[in-house]
Every structure is written in structure tokens, then in C-alpha cells.
Chain A
Amino acid sequence: MISPLLSVSNLHVGFGRDLVKTEIVKGVSFDLSAGETLAIVGESGSGKSVTALSINRLVDFGGGRITAGSIMLSRADGTTVDIATAKEPVLEKIRGGEIGMIFQEPMTSLNPVLSIGRQIAESFRLHRGLTGRQAEAAAKDALDRVRIPDAARRLKYTPNQLSGGMLQRVMIASALACNPRLLIADEPTTALDVTVQAQIMALLAELKRETGMGMIFITHDIGLVAGSADKVMVMQAGEAVEQGPLDDILDRPQHAYTKHLLSAVPHFQSGRAARADFARQQKQMAALKVEGLTVRFPVSGSIFSRSPGSVHAVENIGFDLMPGETLAIVGESGSGKSTTARAILGLVKPIRGDFSTPGTNAATRTDPGVQMVFQNPYASLNPRLRIDSILAEPVIAAGEPVTAKTRERMAMLLKRVGLPEDSLERYPHQFSGGQRQRLCIARALMLNPKILVLDEAVSALDVSVQARVLELLIDLQKEYGLAYLFVSHDMAVVERIAHRIAVVYAGQIVEIGDAASVLSNPQHSYTKRLISAVPTIDRRQQHFEIDTRQIPSLVRPAGYEPPQADWRGFGGDHRARVEA
């Protein structure tokens, strides 16, 4: 047995003035050998990020202190150093040189005014003492290594000219610039789309094989690590509740929390977990019928040049939604799925297209029968209003008086969504993310709507909270006969809640149909790509090809009209667009 690359024992980390009271990490131990990947899995607040930040002592800059334990790192020259007690000059050599790190948000981790070439070259200058041409050449090699096409030209780009997935590759390139022996990846794909996520995961796996470095991968999604990790450590409330080889943890979990994570978290099952509790009846009136919905945003030109056209965000989208049914609109960022939802609520103006609901008020273009729940529970409640004022707003907006009966309904809805009764007198900041989303749902239900538009309504929540909110939504749907328009990028979540699925790509529906049918038997190439990119526990043995295709630009010259699409049916109401 070779001696481990990194050996952490009994690590304690505290924050603030009272280091014992606010202890975030409570005695974590693990070993990592070269060429091995350890996944640290846990929900927000479990201490997984703090553990990782302690390993290169970046935690010091966030106000944390390592109060006990040791972090032994065997360095490239064969010596061993205890990072927990090392001095800052030593640490500066180790960070970047021996331990590389990539973060969740590639957009904010790069300096927006410097070209990416300079930023990568900087780590060569600092750690290897390269200068000028040499550093530039090394930067180009680094970009080549992370498979960025056309690397020489891209060196001169600034971060805003690259997509999120490209930027994350740039981050990886600069983290790997000095051939670190250990790479720490803190939720590196959480901010990215699924297909991009699959590419980054595949890239990291390949790079690990090439360089033989050790990797610590922090994530909240146990499905994501299934394909790449060798060992898993599950953390809860600052303690490692279970750790062991990947297959043991996934197939034979011992601790209750691991079992809970594995069962409560929605895992994608290729349509096998799709709901089957709804069947369309003939002659039923649709709750919402959308036809030929088109939204375009003009691109503004400068004073001297004409406008190059407009962004065709939503192009000729049509569907219908029955009472009591869930239609999921899935797609990646920039596909126009949110714009579709916002157009139906009247938040953006469509240039064409009809949508009719039974109760649309022609004057205000709003319908109290259609309500929306937004993605970010922290931003969708006014922090300075009390909950009773927040819940009263839809009632006031509808021009109705706020009476004792309204307050009764508030209390009833709060109880129904599972919040304590005294919530009415509290303020939003006194609630957790999941509770806030329940508040948003209660607010949306105040006017007894027929249709609820849920725009990524569970995406910002922790996985187990996510599962509970989904359950609540399904219960409410059965109780009130609500129709849901569920906009999401997360296939596992969609599988749990959708009856029908519409796949949106570049502003157009490319495939629509029964959920089980679309997920188990995708027909359009984009749907196939989307589904194959979803990380699952079942498919952990499969490997992904690196695919650098990007969504095409949606800017079209003025007057451009896309050609009419042909559709092909695949049994039932499952249809897909015929590809050219």
C-alpha cells in the first residue's frame, strides 16, 4: 500500500468569536491516495465546503479557524507537511502549486476585465517563473488540454465572451496549470446546464487519468458522483456520517441519512418513475391553450450601425394543458422556456400568438386564475413586508377587500402548505428556503387559481427539501384540481411531477408527449442528448464522450421567419419535430 497523498484526521473547524459554539466541522477524518477521487456529499450547511476549504486553508480568509486535527499532505519532493499548522508562506506555495481548486461560479471566479490568456499565464508566472512568450505558450497548452477548440484565438477573449461551460474549462485549465497533485472541485457543475455538466465531468475524469492526481469532489447530488468517484463521504451537520467505497455506499448504505439521501432525492429513472395518475378525457375543455406563441427581443444597434435583428427567444410554441394535468417544459438555459412562462403571465409581451384561459381579463391581460411561483425563494418575497401583507397582496390586486375571511384563508393555506400558524406575524427572513417556497405557493393559491406556472420552483432548494416540496405540489394538485406548467432543467424532478413533457430547444418545441413515452423513448436528437447527459446511479458504468457543441445563436436578421416544421407521431400524443 502506498502512503496516502492526503490524510485528514479528526478535523475540527470553528467560525467567529466562539470557536466551540459555532463549530462547523466536527471531527472529520479521511485518506486520499494519488489518482483517487473522493466525493463529499451533503446538503447546504453540512460543512462539506468548509472541510474542502480547510484543506488549502482558504477557510482562514472566511473567518474560520482549524481548532483541532491534522491535514497531512505529502508534497512533490517527498516530504510531508501538516497544513493545519503550516505558516502562510508555505501555504502560498502549496495553493495552486500542489493543491488546485475550482469553484461553483466560473463567472465570478474570473476577473472580467482581463483576457483569459493573461489569467492562466499568471499561475505559470507565479509558480513556475515563466515569462512573456513562454507563459503565453504554456497558457495555450493548458487550454488545449481542457479541449477548448481554437485555443490560440480564445486566449485573447475576456470572460464575458465565453459561455459558462467554457469558463469552467478555463478555470480547470488554470487550476491544473502547475500540475497539482490534488484538485479540489467545489460543486463545479452546479451552475451549469446538464449537457455541459456531463462534458465537464467527462473532462475531469479524463484529466485525472492523464495526470494521476487525486481529486476531492464536493456535491449535493449523489447521482452526479456515481460515475466518477472512487470513495464517497456523506456529511451531515459537520460530521462524516458514513464513508466508504462508491459501490458500498450506493448499493448498501448503512447510515439512516445516507439511505434518506438515496431515497428522498429524485433520481432519474428513464421514465419509469413518471406519474400515471392522470388520463386525458375526450371533449374536455383545456385550462390553457397556447398557439403560435412568439417572443422576440430586439437587439439594439449603436448610433452608427443598424440593429442586427432580434433574438428569437420563443418561436411558434403551442400546447394545451388540461385541468389537473402537469405539463413540464424542459430545456437548457437560453432555450426560451422561462420566457414562455413569463409571456403567459404577461411579464413579457409576445409579438404573436394566442393563449386563452377561461378567465382572461382583456383589459389588464392578467387572469387571477393563472398564478406563478418563481425560482428564487429568497428574491420573490419582499423582505420588508410581513407575511400577512405578502399573502394579502394578490387579494388587494384583485380589488377585493381584506376581511376576516381573507385572514381565515391565509391561515388555512399556511396550514395546508405545512407552515406554523404564527407565520402570519413574521417576516420572510425568519424562514428557510424551503419554507419560503411554501409561502410563495400559499400566496399563489390565495385567489384559488386554476393554473399554476412553476418556473424552476424547486431548483434553488436542497435535495431533500426539493422532494418534500414536490410531494406538496402533487397533493395540492389532486386536492384543488390544479393544472401545472412546470418549467425546469432538471430531468429527475420533471420525471416525478410531469404527466406530459415538452422539450424546448433554441426557442422551439422539438418534442412533446406523454412523460413516460418521451423519457423512455426519446426521438429527437436533442432530447436524446439531454437525457443521456443526466447523471444517474443506474448508469454509473457508462462513459460519456466529450461533446463541445453549443446552442446556436438565436439572433436573426429583421424580417426572418423560420420555416414551418414537420412533425412525426410516435404513438399516443408523442410527437417530435422532423430534423433536417
Chain B
Amino acid sequence: MAFLRAIFSHPSGRIGGTIVLVYLVIALLGVFGVTPHNPLQQFRIDRLHGPSMKYLMGTDLFGRDVASRLMTAIGQSFLVAFASVAIASIFGTILGLTAAWFGRLWDGLVMRIMDVLLAFPAILLALLIIAIAGPGSFTSIAAIAIVYTPIFTRVVRGPALSIKGREFVDAARTFGSSRRYILTRHLLLNLVAPLTVQVTLALAWSLLTEAGLSFLGLGTQPPAASLGLMLADSRNMMETAPWLLIFPAVAIMISILGFNLLGDALRDIFDPKTRSRPA
């Protein structure tokens, strides 16, 4: 509770937190199909209908309700983003922790592989993986997870190395504490703060990557809705039906903004130096 209060008393945390909460509700509604209309149903009479009371955000070329499609698209995009970030953070944390703890050859091996992965631009590497494995939701989850694993590995390894040298870890060794106990209670517990910040920011990036992949036709496959896919479909009708482009684009923009603001707020909250600074 104190943590939530800290977020909402931080100016950008208040905005970011609210945006993320609203999106989460929309995403949940979208995933469970609680939408104004069936997102796949085609109202042939109302094709390319502008925003109105019946169709809040208008309809597309096939007469499907854009608002409903947008909600399922947000649900779909969030599903991919959360799943891939969960995988990336778990693998990245394990790799980073073990690299820091065991050092030597394992450290060198893990970190050089991560360096190679980091050398590719995110979208290019994801494209490469999908080109090999074939498009689809699951491959895009896997691709995005692989792309963001090195970032978590780095974020964990640095602080883990410095915590490893602290006296409380030495003290634990003198008691004969098990390796698992030291790694979880002493190292991991002290890494919660940087990891939380990183997870929030990675969510924003992976949303963007997912949208990019779907835009290129490599992520979510039609007729299912996805933010990137909706953009791609509306591209050709930009002048006749601008609402088809505007609503998904704004949805992407605001969600990224929300996660970034929340990430910045979390960073401030966890950082003792910025916390004590007089405002």
C-alpha cells in the first residue's frame, strides 16, 4: 500500500500509473471479449462509417467496429508484451545472477552471448527469429523475449557483482549459508528495485516491438486484431477514413507514454539520492 501511495504521490507516477491502470482494464475487457460489438462481426451496411454514437470510433473497410477491435487489439498486444517480458526477465535474471556469482568462464560466456544479441537492433533480431520460426503470436512472444533478455542480464549482473562483495554476503558465508539462500535472500531481494524499473520500461519497448512486427505482418495474423495490424490495414485509407489510423496510433502512443512515465517514477522512488532531494 505504501508503495502504491508513493507512486501516486509522484507527479509522473500519478499520470503514468493512471494510464497503465486504464489500459489494463481495457486489455482485460478485450481479452475476455467484453466489447461493444463482436470485433469480428462485419456490419456490411455501415462500412467505413465515421465515429458515431453507435460505432464510437467508426467502422473499417469490412464494417467491423473499430472500438471493439481496438480493445481486443490492446488485449492481444498486452498479452504478448507481458508474456515476453516475463520470460525475458526470468531468464535474464537467472543468467545475470549466475554470471555474477560464478564469474570466470560462465560469466565470460554468458556476457559475450548477450553482447552479440545486443549488437543487433531489436526489431532486426526479432525479424530474424520470426523468419526462421514462422510468424504467429507465440513466435513473436519468443522473439521479443529473446531480444530483451540481454538487457535484464546486464541490469542484474552489475548490481549483483557489487552486492556480492558486500559484507553481509561475507557474513552469510561465514555462517555456512547455502548458495541458494545467499542468491535469493541476499542478492535477488536487493535487486527488486532495479528489476521493477526495468520491467516497466521493457513493457513499453515490447509493446512497440510487437506493434512493429504486426505492422510488418509477422506478428498477430488477421483476422485477429492487433495494434500494428490495424495500422497496417488503415494505411491505404488514410485520407478517406483517418479514424482508422488515428485511434490505434494514439492508443500505442499513450500506452508507451504511460509505461515510460511509470518507469521514471519508479526509478525516482527506488533511488535514495533522488528521493532525498529537496523538490
Contacts and interface: CB of A to CB of B under 8 A. Distances in A.
Interface string B174-207: 1111100100011001101000000000000000
Interface residues of B, number: 19
B239 interface: no
Highest count of chain B CB atoms <10 Å: which of A376, A384, A389 = A384
A383 B168 CA distance: 9
Q: Which of A63, A370, A372 has the most CB of B within 10 A?
A: A372
Nearest to A367: B176
A318 interface: no
B190 A372 contact: no
State the 5 A-B residue pairs at the shortest beta-carbon distance, nearest first.
A380-B167, A366-B176, A397-B177, A397-B175, A394-B175
A345 B115 CA distance: 37
Interface in A377-427: 379-385, 389, 393-394, 396-398
Given A380-B167, A381-B168, A396-B181, A347 B192 contact: no
A379 B190 contact: no
A393 B181 CA distance: 9
Chain A contact residues, majority secondary structure: loop
Given A364-B176, A397-B176, A384 B171 contact: no
Nearest to B165: A379
Contacts of B170: 342, 347, 372, 374, 380
Contacts of A366: 174-176
A346 interface: yes
B44 interface: no
Contacts of B175: 366, 368, 371, 393-394, 397-398, 447
Given A372-B170, A384-B192, A398-B176, 4 more contacts: A16-B278, A366-B175, A393-B175, A396-B181
Nearest to B178: A397
B177 A393 contact: yes
Contacts, number: 68
Most chain A CB neighbours (cut-off 10 Å) among B171, B176, B189, B192:
B171
Contact of A389 (B174, B176, B178, B185): B185
A17 B171 CA distance: 40
A366 B278 CA distance: 48
Interface in A1-28: 16-17
Interface of B: 166-168, 170-178, 181, 185-186, 189-190, 192, 278
A380 B171 contact: yes
A273 B130 CA distance: 78
B162 to A, nearest CB: 11
18 contacts: A16-B278, A345-B173, A366-B176, A370-B174, A379-B168, A380-B166, A380-B171, A381-B168, A384-B192, A393-B172, A394-B175, A396-B181, A397-B176, A397-B177, A398-B175, A398-B176, A440-B171, A447-B175
Main secondary structure of the interface of B (DSSP, over half): helix
Given A17-B278, A393-B172, A379 B167 contact: yes
Contacts of B176: 364, 366, 368, 397-398
Nearest to A394: B175
A379 B165 CA distance: 10
Interface string A430-444: 000000000010010
Interface residues of A, number: 32
A347 B190 contact: no
B185 A385 contact: yes
Contact of A382 (B174, B189, B192, B278): B189
B172 A372 contact: no
A158 interface: no
A379 B167 CA distance: 5
A119 interface: no
Residue of B167, B175, B186, B278 contacting most chain A CB atoms (<10 Å)? B175
B37 to A, nearest CB: 49
A375 interface: yes
Nearest to A389: B185
A375 B171 CA distance: 11
Nearest to B176: A366
Contacts of A383: 190
A574 B125 CA distance: 72
A368 to B, nearest CB: 7
A384 B177 contact: no
Contact of B168 (A375, A382, A447): A382
Contacts of A398: 175-176
Given A63-B278, A396-B181, A345 B168 contact: no
B173 A346 contact: yes
Contact of B190 (A382, A396, A397): A382
A447 B177 CA distance: 13
A451 to B, nearest CB: 12
Contacts of A372: 170-171, 174
Contacts of B171: 372, 374, 380, 440, 443
B174 A347 contact: yes
A382 B185 contact: yes
Contacts of A17: 278
Interface string A442-455: 01000100000000
A347 B189 contact: no
Contacts of B278: 16-17, 63
A443 B190 CA distance: 20
A384 B190 CA distance: 6
B190 to A, nearest CB: 6
Contacts of A447: 175
Given A345-B174, A374-B167, A384 B181 contact: no
A249 B186 CA distance: 48
Interface in A281-317: none
B116 to A, nearest CB: 22
B167 A397 contact: no
Contacts of B190: 382-384
Given A63-B278, A384-B189, A379 B173 contact: no
A82 to B, nearest CB: 27
A366 B174 CA distance: 7
B272 to A, nearest CB: 10
B152 to A, nearest CB: 19
A375 B178 CA distance: 23
A291 B189 CA distance: 40
Contact of B189 (A16, A380, A385, A397): A385
B207 to A, nearest CB: 30
A63 B278 CA distance: 9
A185 B166 CA distance: 31
A375 B172 CA distance: 15
A375 B166 CA distance: 11
A63 B172 CA distance: 38
A268 B174 CA distance: 32
A375 B170 CA distance: 12
Given A364-B176, A382-B186, A383-B190, A397 B166 contact: no
